[in-house]
Chain A
Amino acid sequence: MNRAPDQAPTAEPAASPLLEVRDLSMRFGGLLAVDNVNFDVRRDQIFAIIGPNGAGKTTVFNCVGGFYRPTSGSVTLDGQPIHRLSSHRIARLGLVRTFQNVRLFKTMTVVENLLVSQHTQLETRLLPGLFKTPKYRRAETEALERAAFWLDKVGLLQVANREAGNLAYGQQRRLEIARCMITHPKLLMLDEPAAGLNPQETRDLDLLINNLRAEHGVAVLLIEHDMSLVMGISDDILVMEYGRPIATGTPDEIRGDPRVIKAYLGEE
């Protein structure tokens, strides 16, 4: 865990997990919302966290993404501890997320939403911006091209200049994913991406997530209630209940686990 960051990537790329969560706990006053959670996400993995409402899934997300500072435990991305960093630094290290509710910049256009998220990759100094140097223009053109590529990918190219808030719900969801992907993340975190989608849109989402991993090499960590989606695309699943992890395993293992069945269906 205390490896120097410069030797981490080349030394053991396949063996070392991309994200390591160790002994993660989060306490809000008297409530222990997350109690000692451990899991790893590998580089090419789709990893899901499931559990009943209030199980602490989103709190885990918020701790990993830097939204909360965990009470104890550590989160390591690519060998680098990130649980003390602020969100924008974590984002620059390659971890981005969506939320349960859509959080687009609603009064900006679709393409502007994608340009904003490239902010860190673009030069933002004042003077080149004011004088529009050739370098600035070139970078701006490249940013537009990348935006167009991703809009095409998620099927939103024809609505590029619409205000994001006016898109249909499913389109807004896809725009959010595009907005994350355009930053070249190593790990994409999706908080209930299928919530509010119709069955067709959910199937499209399934294809999109698989495609992102296959073509763009991104690992995906997701929270989801839609079991058809979770069981279909996840490599590994972590089940939580009352803030505690109760099982980890492949979809088949999870499906047959008596503790999971008990948590979901109640005890007989």
Chain B
Amino acid sequence: MSGSPLLEFIQQTINGLTLGSIYALIAIGYTMVYGIIGMINFAHGEIYMIGAYVGLLVITVLSLFGVDSISLILLATLAVSILVTGSYGWAVERLAYRPLRGSPRLVPLISAIGVSIFLQNYVQLGQGARDVSMQPVLVGGWRFGPEDGFQVYLSYMQVLIALITVVSMTVLTLFISRSRMGRACRACSQDRAMANLLGIDTDRVIALTFVLGAALAAVAGVLVSMYYGLVNPFIGFIAGLKAFTAAVLGGIGSIPGAMLGGVVLGLAESFASAYLRTEYKDVVAFALLIGVLLVRPSGLLGRPDVEKV
């Protein structure tokens, strides 16, 4: 533990931002679905897991064919994973949510948990329950600091994760704020019945939010499989739980909130592992959630629901 406290702090910030980016990408899927239909998509963690598997698969296949251009691998993997995972997201909505539209809130919740269990076991059957690993695609990074003391290490992969996260979120924000479909999404999130009465096909908007959420989860999955080089069928559970926490922390239903919540959660975990003990990181993460909700029940950026009488 000898070394400059400042450098160590910078290192933990970098690690926290990397982790936070992943959480934020997944959290957006939760928050968007909640924003439109007011329900939590409990299969979302598994959607992310599938994204990671597809990513790993595509990278492995590409390297079998001798493709070694990083940008080509990255683009192809992202494209395939977004496409495949997006279809899974669409299917989850079509099979577990749409047939139950109008039934009590608990019913689609249960069916989503069912889908989650199904997907986990389905991947286990197809891919095996053990860790699947691959050679890291992008290695190396920069070191800063004194030769003999603590050095800050910033890997290329971390930069890539931050970069892709920022790009994805910018695209999403532009889509939501500028495009017609995005406008329809915002209208649906405020008053779905009214939007329907004005002629907006709300089923289509709901399907779109599931697909968009799944696409971002796919991006997160690909990045994680490239970062750790390791996936198993169970990574969706804890990642989903954390991302859900991030979404609630930031204010469920708010997209900037999910982004912020993800980053805050990532930083909290990173600092907790460094300055307390690694075992405390989940304790700190969830304690933070409880603390924020006590002070701001609607989350950091959530709008409080004012019921007008």
Q: Which residues of A contact B (CB under 8 A)?
A: 65-67, 86-88, 91-92, 96-97, 99, 103, 105-108, 112, 115-117, 119-120, 122-124, 126, 129-130, 140, 179, 183
Contact = CB atoms under 8 A, between A and B. Distances in A.
A126 B190 CA distance: 22
Contact of A122 (B175, B180, B194, B196): B180
Given A126-B181, A129-B179, A129-B180, A117 B199 contact: yes
A88 B199 contact: yes
Contact of B191 (A91, A103, A126): A103
Interface in B180-231: 180-181, 183-184, 186-187, 190-191, 193-202
Contact of B197 (A97, A108, A123): A97
A212 B184 CA distance: 26
Interface of B: 175, 179-181, 183-184, 186-187, 190-191, 193-202, 303
Nearest to B181: A124
Contacts of A112: 183, 186
A108 B196 contact: no
Contact of A87 (B183, B187, B191, B193): B193
Given A105-B186, A106-B190, A108-B190, A91 B181 contact: no
Contacts of B196: 86-88, 91
Closest A-B pairs by Cβ, 8 of them: A91-B199, A120-B199, A129-B179, A116-B187, A117-B198, A87-B196, A105-B190, A103-B194
Given A106-B190, A107-B190, A108-B190, A116 B181 contact: no
Among B181, B194, B195, B202, residue most surrounded by chain A Cβ atoms (within 10 Å): B194
A180 to B, nearest CB: 8
Contacts of A115: 180, 183
B180 A124 contact: yes
B187 A108 contact: yes
Among A66, A86, A123, residue most surrounded by chain B Cβ atoms (within 10 Å): A86
A124 B208 CA distance: 12
Given A116-B184, A119-B180, A129-B179, A88 B201 contact: yes
Given A105-B187, A105-B190, A106-B190, A119 B197 contact: no
Given A108-B186, A108-B187, A87 B197 contact: yes
Given A119-B184, A119-B199, A129-B181, 5 more contacts: A99-B194, A119-B198, A124-B181, A130-B175, A130-B179
